Chain A
Amino acid sequence: MKKYKAVVIGVSAGGMKVLTKLLSMLPENFSLPVMIVQHLHPSQSDFYIRHFNEKCALTVKEADEKEKIQSGYVYFAPPNYHLLIEEDRSFSLSCDEKVNFSRPSVDVLFESAVDVYHSDLIGIILTGANNDGAYGLQLIKNNGGLTLVQNPSEAESAVMPQAAIAAGGADDILSAEEIGNLLIRLDKKQQTPVYS
């Protein structure tokens, strides 16, 4: 059976609401580490982290450089830094130039996640007002990972989901709730021991 090792999410304008919904669905024993790039103001305070921690059964934090990626955690790219994943499954941060006018950029995270997790990766694009993440999602799909896009008709801002779909990177187009349920189901299934 296919075994996923991590979830990466890209989200921009309108992200607070849909992330609150999605993250609050994940149960305490959800085993896949979740890594999120949300476009925020560069000097954003850590209010959003406290907000998500209140709503989510998992531990939510900004990723620190060289921090080991662990199960049971939801990591956000710190505002004004790109977030990358190293071979030993720890985080790197960079101040490199913006990609798609964005730092952090969804594409940067997704590309480096593919380098490390290959096909064992679930990529998700939610609401947003630019096309960051379209390339990265397609890359995940091409490498055999699972790719989900929030239904543009439901998204607060449809541009980012639409761009991801247009680039041909979507395995499935779902509502936020369906995405949450699918994640829980997949995780449960791969946690259940298989007797043969």
Chain B
Amino acid sequence: MTDNEIEKIEIDLFLEAVFRRYGYDFTHYAKASIRRRVRNFLQKTGYTRVSEMIPEVLYNESFFANLVFDFSVTVTEMFRDPDFFLSVRNMIFPYLRTYPFIKIWQAGCATGEEVYSLAILMTEAGLYEKSTVFATDFNDPALKKAKEGIYPIKNVKDFTANYQKAGGNLSFAKYYHAQYDSVIMDKYLKQRITFANHNLATDGVFGEMHLILCRNVLIYFDRELQNRVLSLFKDSLIHKGFLCLGTKESLQFSDVCDDFKLIDAKNKIYQKKF
């Protein structure tokens, strides 16, 4: 057996230990990227073999807390894929406008960049006041960061450029306050957002949503977990509700393919059929 094959056993055992000890299920994550994360994490810990981390993760809860943080944070930015946000503005908002109130679920919100982008967009469309936004993630430290809404000032230049490409025509500076080398998002934007812990791999349905955004989360899951999550989204949406996936994700080949209509192929915006 090669070292590579032995490492595969070690990773399986390690993920099994994490699941049975803490209930966090990474066993249905896409193997190649979880392997990368395990290796990166291993390098930081100073151990040389994955199996050496098993007793540590079983008995040391803070070791596990670091692991969760490392395993789940996806790097994102405000108005990532500006064209998508332009499409939300032009194709989804006219529908949402017709409802007396709007419920939105941002699933896998990580450190919050996307949910603030959405809040800005809704504010400008005059929809924010009648909205409730649920931003969920299973990563508590990331949720805490999202709630704080503090980002490095060096990222703001890119955020601003993206905002403009997404059809924003006001001054982006009105949405944040700068101090030293950070910016904090304006309090107003946080008003209608509820941040909550929710694990897509193990938790259940989430209210009757008009719009669910879950972009670049499914790419980390295997087909089985993808189907579980997509069914969850289907059951959490009202009829004619919208589902937005990442530009490289798709409902094609999934169990819920026939339950949705593709309304923007490039930006992967779907509408639940009646």
Residues of A near any B CB (own CB < 8 A):
43, 64-66, 78, 80-82, 84-87, 92-98, 108, 111-112, 115, 118
Contacts and interface: CB of A to CB of B under 8 A. Distances in A.
B249 A115 contact: no
Contact of B32 (A64, A78, A92, A98): A92
Given A78-B247, A87-B32, A94-B36, 19 more contacts: A43-B81, A43-B82, A65-B249, A66-B223, A66-B253, A81-B219, A93-B248, A94-B30, A94-B219, A94-B220, A95-B75, A95-B246, A96-B74, A108-B36, A111-B36, A112-B36, A115-B4, A118-B2, A118-B4
Q: Which DSSP category, helix, strand, loop or mixed, fits chain A's interface?
A: loop
Contacts of B36: 84, 94, 96, 108, 111-112
Contacts of B249: 65
B74 A95 contact: yes
B256 to A, nearest CB: 16
Contacts of B223: 66
Contact of A96 (B31, B33, B165, B248): B33
Interface in B28-81: 30-33, 35-37, 74-76, 80-81
A98 B36 CA distance: 13
Given A65-B248, A81-B248, A92 B33 contact: yes
Contacts of B32: 84-87, 92, 112, 115
A64 B250 CA distance: 9
A115 B216 CA distance: 24
Nearest to B73: A97
A108 B248 CA distance: 18
Most buried by A among B36, B165, B216: B36
Contacts of B246: 95
Given A43-B81, A92-B30, A115-B35, A64 B4 contact: no
A86 B31 contact: yes
13 contacts: A84-B33, A86-B31, A92-B30, A92-B219, A93-B219, A94-B33, A94-B36, A95-B74, A95-B76, A95-B216, A111-B36, A115-B4, A115-B35
Indicate the member of A78, A84, A95 with the most B CB atoms within 10 Å.
A95
Given A43-B82, A85-B32, A115-B32, A97 B75 contact: yes
A96 B219 contact: no
Give the size category of B's interface with A.
20 to 34
B168 to A, nearest CB: 16
B201 to A, nearest CB: 17
Contact of B30 (A43, A86, A97): A86
Contacts of A96: 33, 36-37, 74-75
A98 B248 CA distance: 18
B255 to A, nearest CB: 14
A85 B80 CA distance: 25
Chain B CB within 10 A, most for which of A78, A97, A111, A115: A115
Contacts of B165: 43
Question: Which of B31, B83, B246 has the most CB atoms of chain A within a 10 A radius of its CB?
Answer: B31
B51 to A, nearest CB: 18
A86 B223 CA distance: 13
A78 B75 contact: no
Contacts of A111: 36
A87 B223 CA distance: 14
B82 A95 contact: no
A131 B249 CA distance: 30
A106 to B, nearest CB: 14
A81 B30 CA distance: 15
A25 B4 CA distance: 35
Contacts of B250: 64
Nearest to A91: B32
Contacts of B74: 95-96
A25 B119 CA distance: 50
A87 B83 CA distance: 34
